[in-house]
Amino acid sequence: MDFQVVILAGGFSSNLVPLVSKEVPKALLPVANRPVLSYVLDLLESNNLKDLIVVVEGEDAALKVGGWISSACVDRLHVEVAAVAENIGTAGALRAIAHHLTAKDILIVSGDIVSDIPPGAVAATHRRHDAVVTVMLCAQPVSGPSESGGSSGKDKTKKPACEDIVGLDSWKQFLLYIAKGTEIKKDTRVNKSILCAAGKMELRSDLMDSHIYAFKRSVLQEVLDQKPAFRSLKQDVLPYLVRTQLRSDVSSDQNNVEENGNGKDNMQNNEVVLSQILSNASLPSFHQVYESGLDSRKTHKCCVYIADESKIFVRLNSIQAFMDVNRDVIGDANHLSGYSFSAHHNIVHPSAELGSKTTVGPHCMLGEGSQVGDKCSVKRSVIGRHCRIGSNVKIVNSVVMDHATIGDGCSIQGSVICSNAQLQERATLRDCQVEAGYIVCAGGEHKGETFARR
Amino acid sequence: MESRRNPRAVVDPKVRQVGFFTSSQPDSSSTQQQQQQTDPIPASASSPPVSTISPSGNSLSPVMIPPPRLNSSDTFPLRGAAAGASSAVSPSSFSYSNRRDFPDGSTTASPGRHSRGSFVKSSAPVASSLPGIGMDSMAAAKSSSVPASGLTTVSVVTMPPGLAEKASGMEVQSDQKKNPKSLKEKTTKAERRAIQEAQRAAKAAAKADGGKVPPGTSASVASTSVKVAKPAKPSTQKNEVSVAAGVTEKKGGPSEKDRKKDAPHPRMQYDDESRVVKAKRRAVVKQTEAKNRVELFRHLPQYEHGTQLPDLETKFFQLDPMHPAVYKVGLQYLSGDISGGNARCIAMLQAFQEVVKDYSTPPEKNLNRDMTAKISSYVSFLIECRPLSISMGNAIRFVKNRIAKLPITLSESEAKAALQSDIERFINDKIIGADMVIVKHAVTKIRDGDVLLTYGSPTAVEMILLHAHELKKKFRVLVVDSRPKLEGQLLLRRLIKRGISCTYTHINAISYIMHEVTKVFLGASSVLSNGTVYSRVGTACVAMVASAFRVPVLVCCEAYKFHERVQLDSICSNELGDPNAISKVHGREDINYLDGLTNNANLQFLNLMYDATPSDYISMIITDYGMVPPTSVPVIVREYQKEHLLV
Contact A120 B459 (CB under 8 A): no
- The confidence band for B294, taking pLDDT boundaries of 50, 70 and 90, is confident
**Pairing relation of β-strands A175-180 and A51-57?**
unpaired
Distance from CA of A208 to the nearest CA of B (A): 19
Range B9-33 average pLDDT: 43
Contact by Cβ (8 Å): B98, B376: no
Range B70-80 average pLDDT: 41
pLDDT > 60? residue B378: yes
% pLDDT > 70, chain B: 53
Contact A1 B336 (CB under 8 A): no
CA A399, distance to chain mean position in Å, is 20
Q: What are phi and psi of B562, to 5 degrees?
A: -70, 150
- The confidence band for B21, taking pLDDT boundaries of 50, 70 and 90, is very low
Helix, strand, or coil here: A105? strand
Contact A281 B344 (CB under 8 A): yes
Burial class (CB in 10 A: 0-12, 13-18, 19+), B285: buried
Tens of pLDDT, residues B571-582: 888 888 888 788
B457 touches chain A (CB under 8 A): yes
Query: Contacts of residue A3 in chain B, CB cutoff 8 Å?
Result: 317
Sheet (strand B501-506) strand order: B501-506, B475-481, B450-455, B519-523, B553-556, B620-623, B626-628
Q: If residue B477 lies in a helix (H) or strand (E), which one and from where to where?
A: strand B475-481
CA B86, distance to chain mean position in Å, is 21
CA distance B171 to A299: 64
Residue in B closest to A278 by C-alpha: B343
Phi-psi region of B531 (alpha: psi -120 to 50; beta: other; left: phi over 0): left
pLDDT at B518: 95
The single-letter code of the amino acid at B637 is: V
The answer for residues whose C-beta is within 8 angstroms of residue B305's C-beta and 6 or more apart is B578, B579, B580, B581
Helical pair B412-425 and B341-357, crossing angle rounded to 10 deg: 170
DSSP letters, A226-286, are: H-TT---IIIIIHHHHHHTTTS--S---HHHHHHTT---HHHHHHHHHHHHHHHHHSPPPH
DSSP letters, B540-596, are: HHHHHHHHHTT--EEEE--GGGEES---SSSSSS--B--HHHHH--TT-TT--TTTT
Contact by Cβ (8 Å): B331, B640: no
Distance from CA of B137 to the nearest CA of A (A): 32
Cα–Cα nearest to A209, from A166, A173, A159, A169: A166
pLDDT > 80? residue B191: no
DSSP letters, A167-219, are: EE-TTS-BEEEEEETTT--S-----HHHHHHHS--EEESSEEEEEEEEEEHHH
Q: What is the DSSP letter of B32?
A: H
CA distance B141 to B376: 19
Tens of pLDDT, residues B477-530: 999 999 888 888 888 988 998 899 999 999 999 999 999 999 999 999 999 989
pLDDT at A352: 86
If one counts every other C-beta atom within 10 angstroms of the C-beta of residue A413, the result is: 19
Contact A118 B332 (CB under 8 A): no
Query: Contacts of residue A277 in chain B, CB cutoff 8 Å?
Result: 340, 342-343, 346, 431-432, 459
A212 touches chain B (CB under 8 A): no
Burial class (CB in 10 A: 0-12, 13-18, 19+), A171: middle
- C-alpha dihedral over B227, B233, B235, B236, to 10 degrees? 30
B496 touches chain A (CB under 8 A): no
pLDDT at B72: 41
A357 touches chain B (CB under 8 A): no
Which of A47, A136, A280, A290 is the best mutation test for B, with the most CBs of B within 10 A?
A280
Ranking A81-95, B197-211, B419-433, B483-497 by mean pLDDT, the lowest is B197-211
CA distance A233 to A235: 6
Radius of gyration (C-alpha) of chain A in whole angstroms = 25
Contact by Cβ (8 Å): A142, A226: no
Selected residues 40-99 of chain A with any CB under 8 Å from a CB in chain B? 47-49
Is 0.85 exceeded by the ipTM?
A: no
pLDDT at B208: 52
Query: How many alpha carbons fall within 13 Å on the CB side of residue A451?
Result: 26
Query: How many alpha carbons fall within 13 Å on the CB side of residue B32?
Result: 3
pLDDT at A268: 55
- The confidence band for B176, taking pLDDT boundaries of 50, 70 and 90, is very low
Distance from CA of B79 to the nearest CA of A (A): 37
Distances (CA, A) of A332 to A117, A341, A396, B211, B388: 15, 12, 17, 59, 44
pLDDT > 80? residue B240: no
Query: How many alpha carbons fall within 13 Å on the CB side of residue B598?
Result: 13
Helix, strand, or coil here: B155? helix
pLDDT at A234: 84
Contact A120 B320 (CB under 8 A): no
CA distance B438 to B446: 13
Contact by Cβ (8 Å): B252, B245: no
Radius of gyration (C-alpha) of chain B in whole angstroms = 26
- The confidence band for B61, taking pLDDT boundaries of 50, 70 and 90, is very low
Cα–Cα nearest to A93, from A78, A105, A109: A109
Contact by Cβ (8 Å): A198, A176: yes
The answer for residues whose C-beta is within 8 angstroms of residue B377's C-beta and 6 or more apart is B256, B259, B260, B263, B321
Q: What are phi and psi of A365, to 5 degrees?
A: -145, 135
Quickly count helices (H) and strands (E) in chain B: 30, 11
In chain A the first and final C-alpha atoms are separated, in Å, by 49
CA distance A8 to A93: 8
Helical pair B324-335 and B367-385, crossing angle rounded to 10 deg: 20
Range B113-129 average pLDDT: 39
Phi-psi region of A198 (alpha: psi -120 to 50; beta: other; left: phi over 0): alpha
Full-model pTM: 0.68
Sheet (strand A433-434) strand order: A347-348, A365-366, A382-383, A399-400, A416-417, A433-434, A450-451
Query: How many alpha carbons fall within 13 Å on the CB side of residue B68?
Result: 2
pLDDT > 50? residue B45: no
Contact B459 A128 (CB under 8 A): no
Q: Which of B315, B328, B431 sits opposite A120 (nearest CB)?
A: B315
CA distance A336 to B28: 65
- The confidence band for B541, taking pLDDT boundaries of 50, 70 and 90, is very high
A265 touches chain B (CB under 8 A): no
pLDDT > 90? residue B617: yes
pLDDT at B361: 83
Quickly count helices (H) and strands (E) in chain A: 12, 33
Cα–Cα nearest to B261, from B285, B232, B282: B282
pLDDT at B542: 94
Contact B316 A280 (CB under 8 A): no
Cα–Cα nearest to B350, from B374, B324, B320: B324
CA distance A179 to A236: 10
Query: Contacts of residue A128 in chain B, CB cutoff 8 Å?
Result: 328, 331-332, 335, 337
If one counts every other C-beta atom within 10 angstroms of the C-beta of residue A237, the result is: 24
CA distance A399 to A433: 10
Q: Indicate the length of chain B as a whole number.
A: 647
Tens of pLDDT, residues A98-110: 888 888 889 999 8
- Which residues of chain A are under the pLDDT cut of 50? 144-160, 252-265
Q: What is the DSSP letter of A58?
A: S
pLDDT > 60? residue B177: no
Query: Contacts of residue B316 in chain A, CB cutoff 8 Å?
Result: 1, 47, 118-121, 123-124, 127
Cα–Cα nearest to A418, from A430, A407, A432, A433: A433
A343 touches chain B (CB under 8 A): no
pLDDT > 50? residue B645: yes
Ranking B14-28, B515-529, B606-620 by mean pLDDT, the lowest is B14-28
Distance from CA of A125 to the nearest CA of B (A): 7
Cα–Cα nearest to A59, from A41, A91, A81: A81
Tens of pLDDT, residues B341-358: 888 899 999 999 999 988
Contact B332 A282 (CB under 8 A): yes
SS3 content of chain A, % helix, strand, coil (to 5): 30, 25, 45
pLDDT at B582: 82
